[in-house]
Amino acid sequence: MSITAGSGVEVIPIDTPALGDRSYLAHDGSVALVVDPQRDIDRVLALAARRGVRITHVFETHLHNDYVTGGLALTRLTGAAYHVNAADRVAFGRVPVRDGDIVEISPVMSVRVMATPGHTFTHLSYALQAAGHTHAVFSGGSLLYGSTGRPDLLGTAHAHELARAQHASARRLAAELPDDTDVYPTHGFGSFCSSAQAEGTSSTIGTERLVNPVLILDEDSYVAQTLAGLDAYPAYYAHMAPANAAGPDGPDLSPPARADAAELRRRIEAGEWVVDLRARRAFAAGHLAGTLSFDLDGSFATYLGWLIPWDTPLTLLGETSEQVAEAQRELVRIGIDRPQAAAHGGAAAWAAGQPLRSYPVADFAGLAAVRHHRTVVILDVRRRSEWEQSHIDGAMHIPLHDLPDRIGEVPGGEVWVHCQAGYRASVAASFLDADGRVVVAIDDDYDRAAKAGLPVVAPAPVASHETLGT
């Protein structure tokens, strides 16, 4: 999707749906600027080549908490100026920018720097100007579509202060920018950096005035609603800002070393992570004992990065080398750079004659039916706010991100595990299976639980501000 900002300037989003983020390239037909590039910068370079433009400026709205930036590597390759907040403590050379600075990109376009703290203390937004008019604003983790960036990623001690700053920053953007200004956020498309579920794929300042709580609610109401809706975010976030401040290099996407069946077994027995990328139902039907299921067709990097102990050796199993390469690309975006090994093919080849493990896959109707005949454990691995909205009466609740450390709390016997739509349940089922449990994975939408006749309770109405409900 490309959007013309006006006066011959084109803004092109570069989507990273697995992380719920967007980068942007804006150009005037000759030169281009890039905002918040992801680490796999080959996508940005290819886009610039297709448009026939030269990248001369790269901007960071903030030191990102949910991915490793490609900004420094991009500037080193292109010679572009790298614009980072002067207040950010970084270990690399940059062009420091401050509130009110005007950066001339070309005779056609310029960028106005606007301080918009809230997502972080040093967050900046960039207003794109052409022909004397502001056509777009790159709002990073400040003003999102119908939401704002979450204010607690620097710790709960700062959340209240940053929430108030976020309210003021959004109000500033709305007050100083024309209603027809296109809004281009970095977060809000499924990212856990969003404080609430962001909706839509495009918006303007005028539209946000009508729909965004930050521009409708008074400060106290906004702060209370925002803080009440926050839930857990991925553990790997703790490593992202330090990596970005240090100045990350470009990624190494060369193929990992190939592992045979004996090496796979040795790695599993050593406690390393051997991750099966195949579809979750294929994994359930037959897999190498001790492997973990992270279906590549889902929020793969988010949940793997959330659960894996940092720096744990990782081996990837894929049906094809292309599947492994895709997984590598997603992982380098969150700083998991080099898998120790990889294997292609199928479970039978990886097991080399050893028996495969398997477990059943069912739906909520199947759970309702089996409860009439025998007692089973129902394990709900959704997040806290989802559980508080409603859950199956009698179910046990352990959020997926807590399961590896709390697996001993799951009672013995037959465990039926579910989430909102099946992805997290499949991951949880693989952990239980690797622990030797008898498990059934529910691959179904939670909305069907009550329709299937299961008793669903809602202790109290709690506003949900969740993303990635899979």
Domain extents in the chain: 3-246, 261-351, 361-457
Q: What angle do CA 185, 186, 188 make, to 5 degrees?
A: 75
Q: Convert 210-249 to b/e letters by CB count within 10 Å (16 or more is b).
A: eebbbbeeeeeebbebbbebbbebbebbebbbebbbebbe
Instruction: Please tell me the predicted confidence (pLDDT) of residue 3.
Output: 62
Rounded to whole angstroms, how far apart are CA atoms 415 and 188? 34
pLDDT < 50 regions, the chain: 461-470
Q: Which phi and psi angles does 319 have, rounded to 5°?
A: -65, -30
What is the tens place of the pLDDT at every residue in 131-188?
889 999 999 999 999 999 999 999 999 999 999 999 999 999 999 999 999 999 999 8
Rounded to whole angstroms, how far apart are CA atoms 19 and 190? 7
Instruction: Please tell me the predicted confidence (pLDDT) of residue 6.
Output: 59
CB atoms within 10 A of CB 104: 10
Residue listed under structure tokens 């983790």? 141
R_g over Cα of the chain: 23
Residue listed under structure tokens 């093919």? 345
Rounded to whole angstroms, how far apart are CA atoms 62 and 81? 16
Rounded to whole angstroms, how far apart are CA atoms 90 and 102? 22
Rounded to whole angstroms, how far apart are CA atoms 224 and 402? 27
Contact between residue 386 and residue 469 where contact means Cβ atoms under 8 Å apart: yes
Instruction: Please tell me the predicted confidence (pLDDT) of residue 462.
Output: 43
Model pTM score: 0.92
Contact between residue 392 and residue 380 where contact means Cβ atoms under 8 Å apart: yes
Instruction: Please tell me the predicted confidence (pLDDT) of residue 5.
Output: 62
Contact between residue 61 and residue 125 where contact means Cβ atoms under 8 Å apart: yes
E-strand ranges in 304-340 read 314-318
Q: Which CATH superfamily is domain 361-457 in?
A: Rhodanese-like domain (3.40.250.10)
Query: Looking at domain 261-351, which CATH architecture does it have?
Result: 3-Layer(aba) Sandwich (3.40)
Which residues contact residue 61 at a Cβ distance below 8 angstroms, ignoring those fewer than 6 apart?
35, 36, 123, 124, 125, 126, 138, 139, 140, 141, 142, 186
Rounded to whole angstroms, how far apart are CA atoms 200 and 186? 13
Query: Do 261-351 and 361-457 share a fold?
Result: yes
Contact between residue 367 and residue 378 where contact means Cβ atoms under 8 Å apart: yes
User: Does the domain formed by 3-246 have CATH 3.30.830.10?
Assistant: no
Instruction: Please tell me the predicted confidence (pLDDT) of residue 469.
Output: 37
Specify the 3-state DSSP secondary structure of 244. helix
